Each structure stands twice: as structure tokens, then as C-alpha cells.
Structure 1
């Protein structure tokens, strides 16, 4: 370019840049008078390409020092101004005004800052922006630092909006490895060998942190970040390069869940540079994780305010702005924060921009779409109805970007909110078989689809695979007509499995009996007896009845056969091992039947107790489900409401009355009979703290009621029904015949206590002596201790958990040592609540008050295990 004066030179150092040079030099040539290229040892054809644009090519022997090479290049420019330019950069049309701008500058201006826009991905969507000193009056600048060299300049500085576009961060794996090895080696060498100023040490430590973050020893990042922060605090300043470390390290802390530390770091950064968008980005995201939505709004709004400044005046920002690539995420948490706080107008102001910015920044659309959908699913029904258009806009975004939509959860939520489930929710989606059935149901089919899902269109093969329980379930709950049921049963009666065949014969007999076809009914019952003799006791009764009176009012054999095969099982198998749990939870979406609702309720109890309760209470034919009242009891027992806990007790009791097998769930040997000898104890006004069926985990062995309530009075917790001492004694004798877990101190516990409290002689309560005699004898032989009816010392193993009037046992003793058990009071599943032998529970405070009231002066309580405690009390 011929000009009246030599205004602008380019100074470039390069090595093996053949893949970049045409772009870099071709784009800059129209705007400059002179191009200086210094080659530091290229082995490709970089020099030949450079000659197409300039004849001013010089050579410099590389000495592992970028600043030395840069300073060498600065001796050759002849123009008034010098532009420092790299081979992995380019300029565009927006650089065109640079010459007129330079001509207009006063003589006291020596340095011009230009914005650098660095691309981070091949789609050129993720960017970072930084304004750096790039243009200098010739002879006024030199460089320092061996890596990522920095200019040292003097005189007045101005900023100009002529961006340079940088591609050097879009690295292939081989290039990344090469650059890492070169840069990290040089920096480590400098940090180890040179006597650096605080500013230089911060600079190189921060640079090494960035290099290790990109592709090196990631495990060293934390130490480098902490070293940078320590140096900054000693230096009492925040250098531009350290800002990048603060943001990256803050986001790492956030990712680890260390939100308080991340917040402290971001706030500290803001105290130095409040116009930086980066820390506000971090704060907005971490406040969203904390569910502090007012602070989300405050931080996110400030982020976008500062982001606008960066976009308007990029030349003013002398540090790298790293958070621009997270704009869509910040917009997302901002809009959702407004929604959660009920500000629909502000939500709608920001929401459409989420997807626009996601396209520009190339943020992971799957994360964004999934997060928004998950947030929408947590809204109240009223809120969801209000933002229905935005909901479906999100669905379209997810579909466009291949985001997996949780269809069952979405349909569930939409229906619960009273919204139409649009067909577009299923369009272009790879549907599971269950999801196809949901879609079919939504389109208005009158067919009950539950059996299609459970057993498929070809019922016979699936039922044969799953066994007799599946056959009984199909027979009881299928909506198939008589013809179809007979077809299935007739195919199964030909099975080589005699159990399947025999039950199929019996069920065919039931169908004929119900429809008044008595002769074939009798014939099929007889064949069932031949195939399956073990059920003949049920079948012969029906056959004998039919011989004496021909009437369809005679009950068939199904109920007895079901009871025989199911016993105390709720379903024919552990369905969660056969069908996806999410499908079980949503069975009611493909069927309006009671069985579908029951399935969904049972498998939703842990996740959504209220949903399970509503589904159960919608069931009409409750007698079809032997565990129905047990399930209702389970739901209400988890509440803290006194009314709900009373309901839990009522339902658990009713469950045992309607299904005797629930009297002994664990062993299955002692069905509920209501005959549990108890004594009147307690006050119905005392607070209920626990309700449940203890036979889920243990067994009352037919002596102790499976359904119990724990109540709290001032001095202890007590159980209702309250079994008598005779019952407990018989229970302890009977327990020896079963392999059930026990809550009893063991030999190690006894030895520890006797050693700690030096009991040479002691008494043991008659109630406990037989059960613990072998432990006592062994311990006494080892320690030289002995039992004595005259001893003033009492050792007890169970009394504190059995007797409410403990003072009658301990009043006359000088020293008392008592083992006792307490539950974790925050866990309703704790075994102590369920242990049949226990009638009383005391917490430590109650025990201390009890022994103080009895005149004991020295009192110690020790924990021996999670539940086991020991109290040592001495009167003098």
C-alpha cells in the first residue's frame, strides 16, 4: 500500500505456521505499509508463504524466550507505528478505520489498546474477549517474560475499537500437547530459577495455572490457584491475568459444591474490578444452586449490564473476559429466578433470549434444555398453566438438539395441571414400547393397555415365562373378554409345566362356572386335580358343591389358589427387576384400572408420597388388593401429624385384619389372630412418635402384636399395645428357636463395662439372669468377678427398655450399671422402634433426671455403638 508516509508496520514472529499465514497476512495487508516477519526456525513452508506478502523476512535463533524474539523483531520496522500481530490471528472489515485513527492521535499518545476476540471452538461460537496493548509508536516498547510476553511501554495510552480475531485456542490434540510441553517447561524453569518480583511471580503462576487447565497436569491446578491467591493477598492487588484464575478457580469450587468458598472468591474479585462480568456470572450460577433467587437476579442483571459494556467498549477491558461463553446459562437462571418469584413479565422478557444466546455461544443445548425442563416440572400446577407456551417452546428446543425429554414425567405433570398433552411432545421421538402405549392412550383409545404392557400382545409366551403368579394376575385384572381369556388359558394348559397347566385348567373351570356352563366347569376342575394334586383341597370342595346344587353363585377356586401361591407376597415377582421403575410409577397413564393405579402408587411411595396416597384413595375395589391398607398405613406413618399417625395405626390394624399374612411379614409363620395379651398402660392423649408394622423387619412370633404405636410421656417413651411380662418371658424362650436378629449386649460390651467400672461383685435381675448367664460366667472367670445376692451393685442388660417403673429395681443399690438401647430419633426405620421385646425407650436426658431424682451423685453415660448405651450411677 502506497501512502504519503510510512504509517503502520506489522511485526510478527513465527515458526511452522504454514496453516495460518495466508489468513493472517492476507487479511492485514490492505491496512498496513510494511510487514516484518521474523522466523524462529520453521521446518514447513512458512517462509515461502510469507514471501507472497513481504520481502522483509528475518531469522532468529530460538532461545526459549518469546520476549527476546519479539524484541529482535522490533528493530526492523520503519513506520511511525508498529502493530504486534501473530500468525494465528486475522483482521476483518471492521479494522478499516485504523489508519485514520492513528493519524488523528496527538503526539503524546504512544500506545493503543485493541480488543482481541479469541475463539474457543471450531464453530466459532464460544469466545473470550480481552483488550491488550497492540499498537506502539516505533521505538517506545520492549517486551518481557519468556512466555506470553508482555509489553513494557510509556507515555499516554488510548483504546480503539478495531478488533483482532484470534484462532490460537482452537487446538488439535497434537498441537495442544506441543504447546503445553513448550510453555509449561519454560514457565516452570523461570519460576524455579529466577529471582522474580511479586508482580512477575503472580504473572507466571497464573500463566502456568491457565496452561495446566487447558491440557496439562490438571491435578496441579488447585495448588497453583491457591498460590496465586496467596500472592495476590500479599501483593494487595489483582493483576489482569489473575482475574482469569479467580474466575476459573471459582467455577471449580462451585462444581465441587463448595459454594461458600466460591462466593467469597467472586466477591473478593468484585472488590477490585466491579465492572468485570466474570464474577457476576459465577455468583448467578451458584446462587441458583443455593435457591437464593433474589440474589440470582441481582448477580445476573449485573452480569448483563457489564457484558453490554464489554460488547460496546471491548477496547477498555485489559483483561480476558471469560464468562461470555456462559451467557445463555446466566440468562436461564435469571429468567427462571423471576418465574420462581412470580414475576411472569420479567420471566417472559428474558426467556426467549436463552435459546438465542445458546446458539451464539454454543453452550451445551442438552444441559440447558434438560435444566429448563426439570425446573418446569418442579413448578406448581398454577405456574405451569401460566407458562404453557414457554414449556412447549422448550420442548421444541430439546427436540431440535436431541435432548432426551422425560416423557412420562412431563405427561404426568401436564395432566396433573389440567393441560392438554399435545402430539408434538411425541413427534420425532424414539419412543419405548411403554411410551407408545401412553401416546395411544392419550389419543383416546378405549382399550385398557395395561396387559399389553405387562404381558405383551402375545400373552401366552410372556405369562409362561413369568410363571403361575403372572397367570393369576392376568386372570384377575385383565380386561380381555371371555373369548380372549379362554384362548390364553387354553394355550397355557398345554404347557409342560404341570403347575401352570393345572392352574390354567382350574381357572378355565372358574370361567365356565361363572357363565353357568357347569358340566365343562366340573370337567376342567377334575383335570386340574389330576395335573396339580396339591390344590385338590380347593377344587374338590367346588366339585362337591356342584354335585349337590347347580348354581353359578358357588364361588370358584381363584381366591384359594391365589392365596396358596402368593401367600404374603404383594405381586407375582419383584416387578422392578422386570419392568423399568419409571414405567411402574406411571402405569396409570396407560390404564384407568384399579390395578394400574395400585402399581403406580406402590412404586411411587418413596418418590412422591402424596401422589401415591391420591392414587390409592381413587381405587374402588380395595378388596382386590390384600396389601391395600398396609400401603395406606405406610404412607401415613411417615407423617409427623398426630392425625395422620392415628390413621396409620388404624390402617395397619385393618391391613392385618383383612390380610392375616401381614401379621408376620418377615417370617410368614404367624398370621395375625388379634390374640396378643397386653396390659392397660399409657394415656391416649400422649404424643405419638412412631407407628408401624414391626413384622416387616422382625417377628412377634404370634405373641406380640405386629402393629404398634410409640408414645412419649414426660419420663420415657412407651409402646402400645403394652405386652405383659409373661408374654415377654415366653417370647424370649420362643425366640431361641428362630434365626432372628437380636438387640442384646454381647461379651465384648460386658467386658468393656466391667473393666471400666471395676465391678468385682454384682447382682443381676432374675428376669435377665437365664438369658445372660453364659456371658456373666465367662466374664467373671476372666476378671475374677462374681455374682452375689448380697452385692450393693446392680448390673442390668434389659430393664431400662422393658420396665417403666425402673426406680423399684435400683432404689436400694449403691452402684448401678445398666445397658439400654435408643433409636436414632430422626429415622423411623430404626430397628429399635421395631424390636418386639422393648416396651420402653428412654433418652439420655430422661435417664439422667431419673437417676438424679433417686439420689445418685456420680452419673456417666457412654455410647457403645450406634444404638447401645450404658449408664453408670453411684450414690456416693
Structure 2
């Protein structure tokens, strides 16, 4: 609008070294004001020269580290009715034009006008905060106090106006950030330290300003103490300046990030009582509830937050404090979209998703955060919900590509693969730029199997090198997984049969014979079988049976030598798995994405078993030829071991049994000496209906030395936990003899524990029940040290095995006056505890069970000792 001749608005500005801002500030404000006053406080750049382009009313003031003094000096020069306080790092836009008409219509009793200031916080101008402050005053009605963050002191009626000023002063270079921080902080600290009679609410105000200053410095460790003082004054005064809303909001976010969520909640509810219209606490409450996955509350606070923010954006002039959470609007939409997805509310998910990626407000690292969270949530949805959000999934991938984000898409790919839904797989290309990723895409787009390319290489030279490196396993793998119809297969086998290694050469000839046999090229097949026998005579025994069959009938369905060769060379071995150890585990977990082969499924299942048991189970179950994998049942059993369901533990037992029957080497995993033979003497004991508490193959950590079954179950009986099969006394005796010649882990009682227990027992003599040389030597050394006689006829006994092996104590404690029984218990929460695996043990008793049995035998004085994680002892005496 056109300016009237009336001198309505003067601008009052103080400046120093603002040449990079002044043109923008003065150029934007000049059309809407009548007079510009610039007070320079010591510029050494071109600030004054630039200011002269817009005004000749330039004054100079010597800087004394006092903003209020400089501001008050500038206020003596304006001549218009109204004074606008304006800074060099600000700007106005076209909407500011209405301020003249607004001021002309104000009644005479209005002296002060609040205007909204929108603060930009980043160079992309995406992050903002907004607050309304006193900016326009009737000339002569205002003065400023305090040396830093000076406060306007004004009288008369106040009104709000919707004419926004845009502030760039929080976008700093590192150098400027440091200088502004140091200047601001030092002035505030000086004011707080030197002004002894500062009113409490003013002190709170400057403490809040100090908090905000320290946020940008390197002394963040002082923030907590500052907040504590602020809270102390507020609690005492029952009053808080508006800036306190900002600081306590930021503090609540810190509390939440630290995990102090209840404290954060209490503080935020307090802030809402102080100012119910403030949207900031709603966002922080949303963050608190999201951290605890209380998604109904996330929805409640998130929707309320967005309503409050909408009001702020439409009425910014009504807020006399900074609304910080306006920059978190996209985050709120993202969190709400996740919450609604959890509740399968696809309509609301789509509504918020469409607003979550507001490019005008988001920075790349925030996009990364939201994308990662949303992909994770989408991957967890049920199949029905997943199929309804495919368009949003596609948009996430497009956004991720645009921002060049690093994201993992494999979980989503797995979901799409399992559901067989239509999708534009090219959207995954930017995130699958590794060799493995390329093979995944090829499989998805064309169905091409990528197993050989991944494991052995893309071309003949690479494949030959890998087969040479992997040896017979590599050759068998190559033959099994490359189609006979692929011309490359014969080329490579022909090159391999010329290798100097007679084993590789001979087997290659035999495999070419198999190929020709399947194609009914009998003459060629016989020729290559003959060559194979000549190169590597050991193959003759495999080839002879094939030749005998061919003498009966020329039939292409006759089985060649491959199956017997593979069984001979690979039997009881985990085929090729060892050769893949150096491949990335994340890729091996998803090998099935590049191949439908049983091998790919097996490798994926083995590698993903720890992180995703259900997926591993599905993959194991989907393997067609389970007999080809010597460790399949063993690996499958491991998936059920940690369950607390009887059904699952029963499956673990069943598969462990099948595993050792199929692969006898699994009967002695640790030392590999005693193959499984099923001959492990045991007695009928317990009840098969008793609850299973543990199941496993004990030879993983120990060895039954051929007399104690490697497959063990621990059941909970009426009196104690017991092992099944329940090995016999004779088996224990043989096991202990064999153990003497093996260096295996042993559960032994520490000499220190024996000394302590015998000291408490205070018996004159003692004997050891078990005739174990190692423990006998230790016990005799302890008796010498304590001055106790060791006697085989003593009625005072010591045992380190009885409680863990004996079904009852009657016979062992007959005529015993007193004694110490050492025993071992496992950590019941840790299935890897050695006590479960220890072959010697067949019983585990709890403290209560031990005491009950001893009292039933007439012992009245009973004391218990806990020595370490597993070792316990009980001391008992008769009257």
C-alpha cells in the first residue's frame, strides 16, 4: 500500500559488523516505514556504507557490553509516532505492508504491539521456531533494561498483530557461533554474579537465557544445574516467566532421551497447567510415550499437538514465548503414521504418512530417521495390512533414493517375496548396489538363480579359481547347482579334468560321464567313466556299479556316480558352510533371495537362526531334500531349545535324536572321538509326562566318552530335577575312569571352599565318600591344615558328588553323624550353563529339596553355603 505523508513508523536499529545482513534487512523494511535510525556500535566492515544507501540518520555509540544502553541511545532519535525495534539479521516480506493501516486504526490508549518472529535455525531454512514479542511502541513510551537479552519496559495497553518478522540470527558459522556464545554467556554470567538484588523472576529469566546460550556452547554439562535452580525459584515463587516454558520443554526432551520418562511426564503436565495452549508439551509427551511404545497415548498426544500447532500457525501473534516444537511437525506425523499402522488403521496411517515427509521442513538426517522407523514398522505388519500400504512403501523408496539414504531393504524384500505381490522392483535398485544386491534384483525381476555367481563367481576364470580353492566340495557344489543345459558347465568341467590334482581331474571326468549318461550319450559316458578310473583309480568302486547297470540296460535314468561320490566325500560334514565363513553374514542370512535351491535355504536358515528363529524354521521346513544336509536336524533342534513350551522342547528332543542317528559324528561334537552308537546303559526312571526344563546335545560342551548319552533332557520331578536318559551307576563308574585320560572341563570344588566348610563343621575327623584321587588329595591337604584326622571309619563325611548323582541319601548317610555335601546348580535362566551339560550329573536339587531330604533323615542342624555362581554346600548334624 502507498505510504501517507504522516510520519507513522520509525525503525530503530543498533548494529555492528553486519555487512552480510544489512542489505536484506533494510531493503525489505524500507517500503513500509517512514524513517530509519541506525546506531552503529563500532563496525569495522562495510556496515555503515551499506546503511547510508537507505538512510542518512546514522549515529555512533561506543560499545560498553550493554545492549540496553545501546538500545536506549537509539530511541532518542526517532521522530515518528511509532517505533519499530528491528535488527540487522532480520527481514520482512510483503505481508508486512498491512502494518501501517493496522497502526493508524489503533485507539490512543494502545502503546505496545506484539509481532511474531519466525526464527530460522538452519541454512536450508527448514527448521523454525516462532514467538511473539513486543516490537512496536508509541514513541517515548519504552525503555530497555539489562545488559544482555535486554527487556523492554513499557506501559499502557497491549495488542497483537499478525505481521511476521523473519530472523536469520540463529544460523551461524562455527566461528560466529563461538564468538556469539562467548559474548552472550559472559554477559549473562556477569549480570547474574554482579546484580545481587536481582528480583527472583528476573533471575529466572536470565538463567533461562543462560541455559539457551549453553545449549550452543561446549559446556552442556552445566545445563542440569541451571535447570535445577530455575525449578527451585519457580517452585518457591509459584510463578514462571514465559521463557521458562521453552527451557523446561527442552529439559523434558533431555530427560526423555536419558530414560527419565516419569520425571519428564510430570514436568510436561506441570507445563500444561501453566499454559494449556502451548503445543510444545504435547510433542514431548508424544516422544515419551513413543519411547515406551504406548501407541494409544502417542495417538492421543500427537493429534492434540497438531491441533495446537495449527492454531499457532494461524495466530502466531498470540504467543509471547518461543514455540519450539513447530520444527517437529513432520516428526509428529511420522510417529503418528507408525502408531496408526500398529493398530492397522490404514486410512489414518496414509493421512499422516502423506504429511510426514514435508521437504520444506525436513533435513536429510531426519528423513533417514523416519524412513528407517517406517520401514521397520511396515516390515512387521501382517500380510493383509502390508498389501494395503505398498504405494506408501514405494514412496518411501523414492524419497530414500532422492535423499541418497543408506537403508536396508531386505526385510521388505523378504515380505514381498513371501507374499508374491506385484511391485516395481526397480525401486530397490539404489539400495542394492552390491554384487549380492544385483543378484537379488535379477532373481526378483527375471527369476535367474544367482547361487553359482555369488559363491563361485561370474565368469569361467573366477569359477575355476574358486573350485581350485574349495577343492572337492567346490566341485561337487558347482556340479549340483549348475544346470546340465548351461554350456558353461561342460566347458568348466573339461578344464577341470586337465588339472594336475588327480582327485579333481578324475571326479571331473566322472561328472562329465554322468551328464552324458543323462543325455543318453552312452558311448561318451563310458569313455569319460573309463578316463576317470585311469586318472583316479579310487573312483573305480563308484563307477563299477554304474557300468554293471549299463550292461543290463542302456537307460538314461540309471543313476550316475555323483550321489555316491557326494556321500563318500561329504558324509557327516556341513557341506560348503565352512567355505562361506568369510562372506558377509547379512548376505548369507538372505541367500534364499537369490536362489530357490535347498542349499541357499539351508545357509540362510543357519545364519538367521539367532535373530529370527521363525524365519529359520520356515526355511528349514521348505527344504525338499533334507537327507542331503547332514546337520539339518541338529540345526533345526537348536531352534526349539530355548522355548518354554513343552511342545517345542519335545520337538528339540526329537530332532536331536534324529540328528545323531543321521550323523553319528554329532554324538561327540567337542572331541570327535566317540561316534553315536545308541548304546548308553540307563535305567527306567522318572515319568515321561514330567515337564521338560532343558534339552540339548551335551557333547557341544563336554563328552559322554561313549558311555553317557549325548542327547539329554532335564525334567522336573516331584523331588528334584533329573536327567533322561538316567545313566546307570556302572556308566558313571566307567565314565570317571575314562575321564582320567581326557583333558575336559571339570566341575570341581575349590580347596578354599572345602577349608571354609570343614571349619564350620568343626569335626575331629572326616572321610570323603568318593574315591576320586584328585579330590582325595585336596581333602587330605585340608585336613592337615585344619588339624583334622582323615579316617575311612569316620562318621563325619564330605561329598562333592552325592547330591548331583544319588536318587536318595539313605544308604550313603547311614550311621553318619555329620557332614558337608557339596553340590552344583545351574543358572536356571541360562541354558548354556555347564551344569546342564556335565555328563556325570543326573540329578539337580534345589536348596529346599536338599534340606527336606536331610530333615527326613533326622538331621536337625542344617546350614547352607553359597560359594560362587554354581557351587553350593550344605552342612548337617544330628543332635
TM-score scaled by length of structure 1? 0.92
Work out whether 1:780 is the aligned partner of 2:788. no
Q: In the aligned structure 2, how far is the partner of 1:333 from the partner of 1:862?
A: 53
Q: In the aligned structure 1, how far is the partner of 2:277 from the partner of 2:877?
A: 69
Work out whether 1:252 is the aligned partner of 2:254. yes
Secondary structure of the corresponding residue to residue 216 of structure 2: helix
Q: In the aligned structure 1, how far is the partner of 2:439 from the partner of 2:320?
A: 59
Of residues 863, 866, 869 in structure 2, which corresponds to 1:866?
Answer: 869
807-816 or 645-654: bigger deviation: 807-816
Q: Offset of 1:127 from its aligned partner? A: 0.5
Native 8 Å contact 2:573 2:630 kept in 1: no
Of residues 460, 464, 468 in structure 1, which corresponds to 2:472?
Answer: 468
Native 8 Å contact 2:378 2:386 kept in 1: yes
Q: Offset of 1:299 from its aligned partner? A: 0.5
Work out whether 1:449 is the aligned partner of 2:453. no
Q: In the aligned structure 1, how far is the partner of 2:834 from the partner of 2:856?
A: 30
Count of residues in correspondence between the two structures: 865
Give the structure 1 partner of residue 689 of structure 2. 685
Secondary structure of the corresponding residue to residue 184 of structure 1: helix
Work out whether 1:527 is the aligned partner of 2:530. no
Q: In the aligned structure 2, how far is the partner of 1:90 from the partner of 1:267?
A: 36
Closer/same/farther in 2, CA of residues 830 and 132 from structure 1, 3 Å limit: same
Q: In the aligned structure 1, how far is the partner of 2:320 from the partner of 2:706?
A: 81
Of residues 721, 730, 742 in structure 2, which corresponds to 1:717?
Answer: 721
Give the structure 2 partner of residue 330 of structure 1. 332
Closer/same/farther in 2, CA of residues 430 and 806 from structure 1, 3 Å limit: same
232-241 or 681-690: bigger deviation: 232-241
Query: Where do residues 574-593 of structure 1 align in structure 2 (5 Å cutoff)?
Result: 574=578, 577-593=581-597
Query: Where do residues 537-552 of structure 1 align in structure 2 (5 Å cutoff)?
Result: 539=539, 541-542=541-542
Closer/same/farther in 2, CA of residues 436 and 853 from structure 1, 3 Å limit: same
Work out whether 1:344 is the aligned partner of 2:346. yes
Secondary structure of the corresponding residue to residue 12 of structure 1: strand
Give the structure 2 partner of residue 669 of structure 1. 673
Q: Offset of 1:550 from its aligned partner? A: 6.3
Give the structure 2 partner of residue 371 of structure 1. 373
Deviations 1:398-446 (A, max 9, x none): 222223343332221112234223234335555322222222222344x
Q: In the aligned structure 2, how far is the partner of 1:220 from the partner of 1:180?
A: 14
388-397 or 690-699: bigger deviation: 388-397
Q: In the aligned structure 2, how far is the partner of 1:693 from the partner of 1:794?
A: 34
Native 8 Å contact 2:144 2:151 kept in 1: yes
846-855 or 451-460: bigger deviation: 846-855
Give the structure 2 partner of residue 628 of structure 1. 632
Query: Where do residues 349-368 of structure 1 align in structure 2 (5 Å cutoff)?
Result: 349-355=351-357, 357-362=358-363, 364-368=366-370
Q: Offset of 1:485 from its aligned partner? A: 4.1
TM-score scaled by length of structure 2? 0.92
Deviations 1:619-670 (A, max 9, x none): 2211111112212222232332222222221111111111111111222221
560-569 or 92-101: bigger deviation: 560-569
Q: Offset of 1:502 from its aligned partner? A: 6.1
Query: Where do residues 95-114 of structure 1 align in structure 2 (5 Å cutoff)?
Result: 95-114=96-115
Secondary structure of the corresponding residue to residue 708 of structure 2: coil
Give the structure 1 partner of residue 207 of structure 2. 205
Deviations 1:479-508 (A, max 9, x none): 344864443334234445566556556656
Give the structure 1 partner of residue 61 of structure 2. 60
Of residues 599, 603, 615 in structure 1, which corresponds to 2:603?
Answer: 599
Native 8 Å contact 1:126 1:361 kept in 2: yes
Deviations 1:560-589 (A, max 9, x none): 765676565413343563322232222222
Deviations 1:113-138 (A, max 9, x none): 11100001112111000111112223
Work out whether 1:744 is the aligned partner of 2:748. yes
Closer/same/farther in 2, CA of residues 495 and 226 from structure 1, 3 Å limit: farther
Q: In the aligned structure 2, how far is the partner of 1:784 from the partner of 1:465?
A: 66
Q: In the aligned structure 1, how far is the partner of 2:155 from the partner of 2:617?
A: 76
Q: In the aligned structure 2, how far is the partner of 1:495 from the partner of 1:220?
A: 73
Query: Where do residues 265-304 of structure 1 align in structure 2 (5 Å cutoff)?
Result: 265-304=267-306
Q: Offset of 1:397 from its aligned partner? A: 2.2
Q: In the aligned structure 2, how far is the partner of 1:805 from the partner of 1:30?
A: 103
Q: Offset of 1:86 from its aligned partner? A: 0.9
Give the structure 2 partner of residue 12 of structure 1. 13
Q: In the aligned structure 2, how far is the partner of 1:28 from the partner of 1:560?
A: 91
Q: In the aligned structure 2, how far is the partner of 1:482 from the partner of 1:77?
A: 91
Q: Offset of 1:156 from its aligned partner? A: 2.2
Query: Where do residues 808-823 of structure 1 align in structure 2 (5 Å cutoff)?
Result: 808-810=811-813, 812-823=815-826
Give the structure 2 partner of residue 648 of structure 1. 652
Q: In the aligned structure 2, how far is the partner of 1:758 from the partner of 1:161?
A: 91
Native 8 Å contact 1:688 1:711 kept in 2: yes
Q: In the aligned structure 2, how far is the partner of 1:822 from the partner of 1:697?
A: 17
Native 8 Å contact 2:509 2:529 kept in 1: no
Q: Offset of 1:371 from its aligned partner? A: 1.7
Closer/same/farther in 2, CA of residues 559 and 723 from structure 1, 3 Å limit: farther
Closer/same/farther in 2, CA of residues 219 and 464 from structure 1, 3 Å limit: farther
Native 8 Å contact 1:567 1:661 kept in 2: no
Give the structure 2 partner of residue 320 of structure 1. 322
Q: Offset of 1:865 from its aligned partner? A: 2.3
Native 8 Å contact 2:660 2:676 kept in 1: yes
Native 8 Å contact 2:503 2:536 kept in 1: no
Work out whether 1:841 is the aligned partner of 2:849. no
Q: Offset of 1:696 from its aligned partner? A: 1.7
Give the structure 1 partner of residue 384 of structure 2. 382
Closer/same/farther in 2, CA of residues 116 and 705 from structure 1, 3 Å limit: same
Q: In the aligned structure 2, how far is the partner of 1:797 from the partner of 1:560?
A: 51
Give the structure 2 partner of residue 832 of structure 1. 835
Q: Offset of 1:700 from its aligned partner? A: 1.4
Native 8 Å contact 1:266 1:279 kept in 2: yes
Give the structure 1 partner of residue 72 of structure 2. 71
Q: In the aligned structure 2, how far is the partner of 1:10 from the partner of 1:577?
A: 73
Closer/same/farther in 2, CA of residues 312 and 760 from structure 1, 3 Å limit: farther
Q: In the aligned structure 2, how far is the partner of 1:547 from the partner of 1:25?
A: 100
Q: In the aligned structure 1, how far is the partner of 2:136 from the partner of 2:856?
A: 89
Q: Offset of 1:460 from its aligned partner? A: 1.1
Closer/same/farther in 2, CA of residues 511 and 736 from structure 1, 3 Å limit: farther
Query: Where do residues 122-521 of structure 1 align in structure 2 (5 Å cutoff)?
Result: 122-195=123-196, 196-355=198-357, 357-362=358-363, 364-427=366-429, 431-445=433-447, 447-457=448-458, 458=460, 459-481=463-485, 484-495=488-499, 500-501=504-505, 504=508, 517-518=525-526, 520-521=528-529
Q: In the aligned structure 1, how far is the partner of 2:112 from the partner of 2:580?
A: 71
Q: In the aligned structure 2, how far is the partner of 1:328 from the partner of 1:695?
A: 55
Secondary structure of the corresponding residue to residue 49 of structure 2: helix
Q: In the aligned structure 1, how far is the partner of 2:579 from the partner of 2:228?
A: 52
Closer/same/farther in 2, CA of residues 91 and 382 from structure 1, 3 Å limit: same
569-578 or 273-282: bigger deviation: 569-578
Q: Offset of 1:379 from its aligned partner? A: 0.6
Q: In the aligned structure 2, how far is the partner of 1:343 from the partner of 1:627?
A: 44
Secondary structure of the corresponding residue to residue 211 of structure 1: helix
199-208 or 320-329: bigger deviation: 199-208
Structure 1 gap segments, 5+ residues each: 530-535
Structure 2 gap segments, 5+ residues each: none
Give the structure 2 partner of residue 701 of structure 1. 705
Work out whether 1:657 is the aligned partner of 2:661. yes
Q: In the aligned structure 2, how far is the partner of 1:14 from the partner of 1:839?
A: 87
